[in-house]
Structure 1
């Protein structure tokens, strides 16, 4: 019988990689975000391998008994995760390099609209007025009474508006 319990050192390493990766992803510097993506990718690879169980014999049908073969699916998932992490790394490197060329730093700046909304939230003002919530409830009741219900067969049909041609 193969022991399926994971090594505690690997589990702690996965937790540390994910925690450090998430922490770095929340930073403004693209180089730190890049390192965070790499750490999370490595943590995911390690998680796939640990979740795959204990290593076994090569998964070649006919050469080994089925109970002793290792599962090839976690290895395929790790290879796919490596390719995805490589693509994300290349993309973030390109973003950081372009930001360095343009601004001589790689920090992500706030959007102008985000700053405006934050300023309005600080003084507790609305960014826009909502016509639906500004009118009184009695006018809503009147509008509801005047509205035609399509399921009501006895109500007179409204005229359809004619197209206005220029």
Structure 2
């Protein structure tokens, strides 16, 4: 099962990097969302994916068995899902406000649409 997840993680990373290299902001945002899912799947897979032995410590032992899945990556993934969702929501609002102000989602056109009447800040002190 892990080799299938490894191939899927590689495909997610490839698609995310391809989308990050785009000029359109919405594609960059989708790349960030896919990259977050790829990292979550990578962490989840690193904790061993088994269905045979649940990650529960029985009453007669003090530790997990050697064949049980590690519950720590599962808890980390749950936390990472919340953080990546809030990060994606922030980026989505930032991209929407940029589109409202500049009337484009192309990053090259956003550079041209910057106001030129404002003086530049001093560079050295």
Task: Give the alignment's TM-score, normalised by structure 1.
Answer: 0.56
> Aligned partners of 1:98 and 1:61: how far apart in 2?
53
Greater relative contact order (CA < 8 Å, ≥ 6 in sequence): 2
Q: 2:22 is paired with a residue of what secondary structure?
A: coil
> Aligned partners of 2:60 and 2:96: how far apart in 1?
50
Instruction: Look up the match of 1:15.
Output: 10
CA RMSD of aligned residues (A): 2.4
Which digits, 9 at most, give the CA deviation of each residue in 1:15-37, with x for residues without a partner?
A: 01011101111222211111001
Q: Give yes or no for contact 1:59–1:70 (8 Å, CA) kept in 2.
A: no
| Closer/same/farther in 2, CA of residues 87 and 63 from structure 1, 3 Å limit | farther
Contiguous gaps of at least 5 residues in structure 2: 114-125
- Asked which structure has the greater CA Rg, the reply is 1
Q: 1:66 is paired with a residue of what secondary structure?
A: coil
Q: 2:54 is paired with a residue of what secondary structure?
A: coil
> Aligned partners of 1:28 and 1:13: how far apart in 2?
25
Task: Give the alignment's TM-score, normalised by structure 2.
Answer: 0.72
Contiguous gaps of at least 5 residues in structure 1: 1-5, 113-166
Aligned ranges 1:5-154 → 2 under 5 Å: 7-55=2-50, 56-62=53-59, 66-67=64-65, 68-108=67-107, 109-110=110-111
> Aligned partners of 1:46 and 1:63: how far apart in 2?
33
| Closer/same/farther in 2, CA of residues 111 and 52 from structure 1, 3 Å limit | farther
